[in-house]
Amino acid sequence: MNGTLRFYHLALAIAIASGLFVLLTGGLLAFNEVRGKVSMLVNSKQVVRLHDELRSRPKDEELKLRIRQLDLELRRETFYRLQLSRNASRALLGGLAVFLASAHFVRSSRRRLPDPLAWGARKAGEQRRTAALARYAVAGAFALVAATAVAVSTRPLNLPGPAASAPDATDPNGAPHPDSQAGHPSPVSPLPSAEEMQQQWPSFRGPNGSGVASNATVPVMWDAKTGTNILWKSEVPLPGLSSPVVWGNAVFVTGADESQSSVFRFDADTGALAWSATIKLPGGARPPKPEVGEETSLAAPTPVTDGRRVYALFPTGEIAAFDFSGKQVWARNIGPLENQYGYASSLAIYQDRLLVQIDRGQAEDGQSRMLALNTQTGQPLWEVKRDVAGSWSSPVVLDVNGQPQLIACASPFVIAYNPVDGKELWRNKCLESDVAPSPVLAGNMLVAVAPNTAIVGLHPGATETAWKIAEGAPDATSPVSDGQRLYVVESSGMLTCYDIQTGKVVWTHDLDNMFYASPAIAGNALILVSRKGNSWVLETGDAYKELGKGEIGEECCASPVPLGKRLFVRGKTNLFCIEAK
């Protein structure tokens, strides 16, 4: 017997022995699994029975001891068997490796060269026949895939159609809709109704971003130096250009510096700082500080509240929700938000959707987008790309003939989206340059501003503009309307009143001051606050009529917030509450 043959026989014997070992070990493992001996702890009927008994006799100490002992025994047995099973698997793999090595050796030792002559000549037309059969096989496989798809499609869909999805499941008083109960506990914290939102100042420039509080009656004169009509004045711990939002007796403002982005709640009655909360992103690290202009700050976007939580966004990309006690509910980073002067768009809200307009770079860069986050979890609900240039304008949600529309402005479009799913509803190409003013609904007319170029009036949904005014377009402030007229103040202080139906100038007046804050209307009072902190209260109407003046004694870029009998103004350092004494 030569050496090669001896090795062959040895390898064959090893292959047979290891093969039998693999089969035997594999069989035992399978048997162990099928008999459920490994998962005995989980499936133990005895444990379940004893637990049931314990429910009826919760103070039976002897029974508890028996359960503990049984549990311990079962655990020991389970982990022993698991370890045994794991060891057996390793042994099986070892046996398999030996089997494969020896079997491959046996095979290669007996390898014979092929003998094409014995196969005979290749038949003519064989290729064609094979191709024909292959075509049938491919068609058959496709038919099988199609049949499977049809079978899957027979699975019933258990969702109501879009028609059944009323935008608001709560009645105007905030009570849950009776149909939504169906024997289940009602939601513990329903979303605020539209009426609730109208009664508060939940976002930048108030309900619908209009800047109007029609029921408010605020003082016409105040002076921070003498304390005239100043109910309170509180220092805001961190700087920021964002405006206050108010819900009930809670006044929220944001502030940020090199190291933190924070939200502050002040008591509307006393001005006391109720709490301050700093955003803590998961992981702890703060995103890098973006480059921002001096006139934009690290806290330019105004927060938004739905009366349950307050939501704040910062140019770092940090966005977070805090409950009314200051506890962070969620936080995430949606950056980078860096743009030319620093990110400044404020948040908007619709039901449980937090809406973020992120416009950056040039239109062709593809960096601009509109994002909707779930207010309860912060998870993205939808996101749409926007073919627009960077902007500093804030989105507004309007009710147009019963349909909610999210309006966003940036060069060159005014675009309306469905805030529920982000689908584009219409767009109008009427803007240019760096858009900072926000759109506003004036009567039945939507007004948008192309800075230093034109003020545009259009009917929501229309593809053509109703009117266009080529002069007096502000570059930073947003317009405000009393329903009949439009009031626009330019950065230079030139105040102009327009007829909203025709776009014609009604009157103009030079206030001879610089303005960054957008004007607001309280009842029939038009309120303007200049960068120096000087204020004018005018009567809305077809003529310029001054009702009074005010001073806060410090710089101001944030828009004034009239609500009830109070006016909230954020200066460079302090937050002021103005109320007639």
Partner 1 sequence: MIWLLAAQRFPPPEFTETGHSLPGFLAPLPRGPWLEHLDVAVLVGALALASWLALRHRSRRGIVALGIFSVLYFGFWRKGCICSIGSIQNIAQGLADSSFGVPATVLVFGLAPLVFALVFGRVFCSAVCPHGALQDLMLLKPVSVPVWLEHGLRLIPYTYLGLAMIFAATGGGYIICQYDPFVTIFRLSGSALMVSCGIGLLVLGIFVGRPYCRFLCPYGVLLGMASNFSKWRVRITPDTCTQCRLCEQSCPFNAINASTVETPSRTVKTDKRRLAAMILLLPVLLGLGGWLGGVTGKHLAGRHRTVHLAERVYLEESGAAKGTTDASAAFRITGAPVESLYADARMVQDRYVLAGRLCGLWIGLVVGGKLIVLAIRRKRHDYEADQTRCVACARCFRSCPQELQRLGLPVPEGAPLAPPS
Residues 366-385 that bind partner 1 (CB under 8 A): 369, 376, 380-383
Instruction: For residues 468 and 500, give the distance between their C-alpha atoms in angstroms, rounded to a whole number.
Output: 11
Q: Which is nearer to partner 1, 27 or 293 (CB)?
A: 27
Q: Which is nearer to partner 1, 152 or 470 (CB)?
A: 152
Q: Which of 437, 432, 425 has its CA nearest to residue 411?
A: 432
What backbone phi and psi angles, to 5 degrees, belong to 521?
A: -125, 130
Least spacing, CB of residue 77 vs partner 1, in Å: 16
**DSSP assignments along 482-544, one per residue:** -SSEEEEE-TTSEEEEEETTT--EEEEEE--S---SPPEEETTEEEEE-TTSEEEEEE-SSS-
Regarding 443 and contact with partner 1 (CB under 8 A), the answer is: no
Q: Given candidates 16, 91, 100, 494, which one binds partner 1 under the rule CB under 8 A?
A: 100
Q: Given candidates 69, 127, 215, 270, which one binds partner 1 under the rule CB under 8 A?
A: 127
Q: Given candidates 163, 188, 285, 470, which one binds partner 1 under the rule CB under 8 A?
A: 188
Q: Given candidates 2, 4, 158, 173, which one binds partner 1 under the rule CB under 8 A?
A: 158
Regarding 110 and contact with partner 1 (CB under 8 A), the answer is: no
# chain residues binding partner 1, by CB under 8 A: 74
Q: Which of 212, 223, 199 has its CA nearest to residue 581?
A: 223
Q: Which is nearer to partner 1, 74 or 547 (CB)?
A: 74
Regarding 402 and contact with partner 1 (CB under 8 A), the answer is: no
Q: Which is nearer to partner 1, 58 or 160 (CB)?
A: 160
Task: Report whether 490 contacts 477 (CB < 8 A).
Answer: yes
Regarding 162 and contact with partner 1 (CB under 8 A), the answer is: yes
Residue 549: how many CB atoms within 10 A of its CB? Answer: 14
Q: Which is nearer to partner 1, 164 or 285 (CB)?
A: 164
**Strands, E assignment, 286-438:** 304-305, 309-313, 318-323, 328-333, 348-350, 353-358, 368-374, 380-386, 396-400, 403-410, 413-417, 424-429
Piece of 182-190, 239-247, 425-433, 547-555 that binds partner 1 (CB under 8 A): 182-190
10 Å CB burial of residue 245 (0-12, 13-18, 19+) is buried
Task: Report whether 479 contacts 449 (CB < 8 A).
Answer: yes
Instruction: For residues 313 and 298, give the distance between their C-alpha atoms in angstroms, rounded to a whole number.
Output: 10
Regarding 173 and contact with partner 1 (CB under 8 A), the answer is: no
Name the token pair of 112: 């014979």
Give the footprint of partner 1 on residues 133-152 (CB under 8 A).
133-142, 145-146, 149-150, 152
Give the footprint of partner 1 on residues 328-347 (CB under 8 A).
334
Interface characters, 35-74, with partner 1 (x: CB under 8 A) = ----------------------------------------
Instruction: For residues 36 and 191, give the distance between their C-alpha atoms in angstroms, rounded to a whole number.
Output: 50
Q: Which is nearer to partner 1, 52 or 179 (CB)?
A: 179
Interface characters, 296-335, with partner 1 (x: CB under 8 A) = --------------------------------------x-
